Structure 1
Amino acid sequence: MKSRKRCLLDSLEGPYPRLLMYGDSQEDIDLRTELALYLFQARGVSCSPGQIEICGGTQQAICYFA
């Protein structure tokens, strides 16, 4: 049991703590650019990367857009 707790704490205190946080929805321009391209090619939706918001889940999206 002690090793599980140590592994959990190590992962939470690791070198990349931002991976476990929500982060800025406008931060990753490369991802938003690719999503805009995909939306246009696959769905015919024309939008700019600035119109795409990336959320960590539905709860964050509801809070963000409410």
Structure 2
Amino acid sequence: MKVGVVLNPIAGGGWLKRHWPEVSASLRKHFGDFELRETQATGDAERLALVLAASGFELVIAAGGDGT
């Protein structure tokens, strides 16, 4: 299964970005390899998720912390 992750690196005060090594290890354990995309501007999360889905990714995970 092709898995993509959209990460908002500043959500939750940057908590997820700081803990990314542990979080990504857990994701790999459950889903295998995945491709990571990081947001940089407003609207990026939706755009990146749509691009991943249109590119054949069967699962797209939104990772943030501010209501993602």
Q: Which has the higher strand share?
A: 2
**Which of the pair has the greater relative contact order for Cα pairs under 8 Å at 6+ separation?**
2
Q: Which has the larger radius of gyration?
A: 1
TM-score normalised over the length of structure 2: 0.28
Q: Which has the higher helix share?
A: 1
